[in-house]
Amino acid sequence: MADSNRTDPQKGNGLPAFIMGFVPGLLQWQLGQKQQAVTAFASCTAVLFVGWVVVGERLFYWGLGVPDGQSSFDNFAHLGLPVLPEVLNLPAQVTGALMAYDGSATGLRMQRLPRDLEHIAGWVTAASGMLAAFWAAAGHWSLRLRRDADGDAARLVANPALCAALSWIVPGLGHAKAGQKNKGALMGAAVAAVFVLGLVFSGGHAVDRAQYGVWWIGQNLFGGGSLFAALVTGPMRSVETPIDLDLGIVLCTVAGLMNLVVMCDAYTVAERSVFPVRTEQAANEEAMG
Amino acid sequence: MELLFRVVIFVPVLFLVAVVVVAQQHATAQSTLQAAAKRSVRWLVWTAALLVSMTVLELLFIEF
């Protein structure tokens, strides 16, 4: 039945909702999902500070630029803003940075000091940012369901945000959850193959947040791969620089960016179980009543 | 030899990237693979065209 008052499901949720997504749980709170809101905020904050206990102020050294105590960039660094993906968990990241950032010469030297277990701890702090992004996606999805779904929500095969989160850890798993197992396996194999090629060419040294922090931001979009690297290859001692290290770093980053596409597609596949793509003919038929 | 090595890496990686890119318009693995093969060929042609253009520019502005 055509309903002329119904909002176009292709329409976004708007800028305020987008901004609210940077505070884990705020969208859920606005939607009246109080328990989910508290869980989102507590989980993101807890995960960040578990990693923070180990890495401390070294986290600031892994941002998009290195603070030098003089440039205007330090103002951003003082708030922890250049550190991705932790900044997606904005309240905890900014609070932590305000409490811990030390712009003095001694503080900047401390940022350069390697820590024990920093590979896995760096992955954990990054996971808090990714977790915040998935909670934001879940909030946006709830918002769209409430706005556009009417009785269509019963057709939902899986929560799109959950599908995206699963694909972050295991590429293609989100597609399997959403009902496209073969396609998911193919996409997952493609991402994993490029990532493994990168690790092989670099002798396992391509994915190292402490060494190649900016490249690592892209590589971490394949969370399972960067976790493997943090646990297995990251702590390996580098005796000499592999001849194809540059190729390996680029391939692992390309794999991460490929997985970003996989995550978005997993979200879309699940989303379309409720909001299928309307053909022009179907739209015309609906308009005619 | 180094160039051959880079090409041997480039072609399969290009195909794998194509798989992920075209999969967004397909629902099954089979149709994705077919479309990825076509897209890879298209991208290879563009790559070759880009290489030729860069070589021509090099000859025009650097070597002469």
Q: Is A263 on the interface with B (CB under 8 A)?
A: no
**Closest partner CB to A183 (pick from B9, B13, B28):** B28
pLDDT of residue B50: 95
ipTM for the complex? 0.90
pLDDT of residue A282: 64
Residue B21 to chain A, least CA–CA distance (Å): 7
Question: Which of A167, A181, A182, A183 should one mutate to test binding to chain B, selecting the residue with the greatest count of B CBs within 10 A?
Answer: A183
Q: Is B25 on the interface with A (CB under 8 A)?
A: no
pLDDT of residue A88: 94
**Average pLDDT along chain A, 289 residues, taken 10 residues at a time:** 54 85 93 94 95 89 78 80 92 90 84 88 96 96 87 83 97 96 96 96 91 93 96 83 90 97 96 81 65
Q: From first to last of its 64 residues, what are the pLDDT tens digits of chain B?
A: 777 888 889 999 999 999 999 999 999 999 999 999 999 999 999 999 999 999 999 998 887 5
pLDDT of residue A287: 67
pLDDT of residue A100: 84
Single pTM value for the model: 0.89
Helix A118-144 to helix A90-100 angle (10° resolution) is 140
